[in-house]
Chain A
Amino acid sequence: AQSVTQPDIHITVSEGASLELRCNYSYGATPYLFWYVQSPGQGLQLLLKYFSGDTLVQGIKGFEAEFKRSQSSFNLRKPSVHWSDAAEYFCAVGGPEFGNEKLTFGTGTRLTIIP
């Protein structure tokens, strides 16, 4: 079965500092990978996605992620965070291998930004 691990429950970074959020997945074939962001009381907004091709994908709000098959990872990065980036970030995996359409999410990483 597919699964996602986000090892960091909570990360605090200073405004302007770089950010990396970790995501490891378990999936039999080539996965479809996603990062979503959730602000308090809001639904999830898609930041970026990887289906195939170039392993470095660019998303909205200046985020990027790199797919590394050898490490089963899809880490999210941003070179310089802004106070408005404070939110909960979820990594998700899906794919046609099991013939279903669902996304499987990690437990999330809460990002706090300090001045």
Chain B
Amino acid sequence: DTGVSQNPRHKITKRGQNVTFRCDPISEHNRLYWYRQTLGQGPEFLTYFQNEAQLEKSRLLSDRFSAERPKGSFSTLEIQRTEQGDSAMYLCASSLEASSYEQYFGPGTRLTVT
């Protein structure tokens, strides 16, 4: 399977705990995006990388959130001191720079904060 993969698929955590999600993009794609989708809503942009450089962050990305893409391949999204409002589906997408608006999405990580 050469699509975008995300791990874990589901995560249940208690409020105040830290969580980390991983995204592996399509291998030749140098752009990687994170979106958040809450129930009944469309995905909302969080941040994106070109290779290892983080080029834009949404104001939705509070200081409790940090994303990295250290070698320009996989990416991690960490949420510190989770809150119930962080419960959502976290989606990763990747694209080629030349057609950056044509984004291919992974299956997502569903986070539940209890």
CA distance A42 to B103 in the complex (A): 15
Interface residue count for B (Cβ, 8 Å)? 25
Are A101 and B100 in touch, CB under 8 angstroms? yes
Residues of A within 8 A of B105 (CB): 36, 43-45
- Nearest Cβ in chain B — how far from A67, in angstroms? 15
Contact partner of B42 (CB less than 8 A), chosen from A49, A100, A105, is A105
Interface residue count for A (Cβ, 8 Å)? 25
CA distance A63 to B100 in the complex (A): 23
Binds A, one of B12-20, B43-51, B62-70, B73-81: B43-51
Are A101 and B41 in touch, CB under 8 angstroms? no
CA distance A51 to B104 in the complex (A): 16
Are A100 and B103 in touch, CB under 8 angstroms? no
Binds B, one of A11-19, A74-82, A88-96: A88-96
Given contacts A49-B102, A101-B55, A107-B40, contact A42 B107 (CB under 8 A): yes
Are B107 and A43 in touch, CB under 8 angstroms? yes
Are A44 and B43 in touch, CB under 8 angstroms? yes
Are B101 and A32 in touch, CB under 8 angstroms? yes
- Nearest Cβ in chain B — how far from A29, in angstroms? 13
Are B107 and A100 in touch, CB under 8 angstroms? no
- Nearest Cβ in chain A — how far from B103, in angstroms? 6
Q: 1/0 per position for B1-33, CB-CB distance to A under 8 A? A: 000101000000000000000000000000101
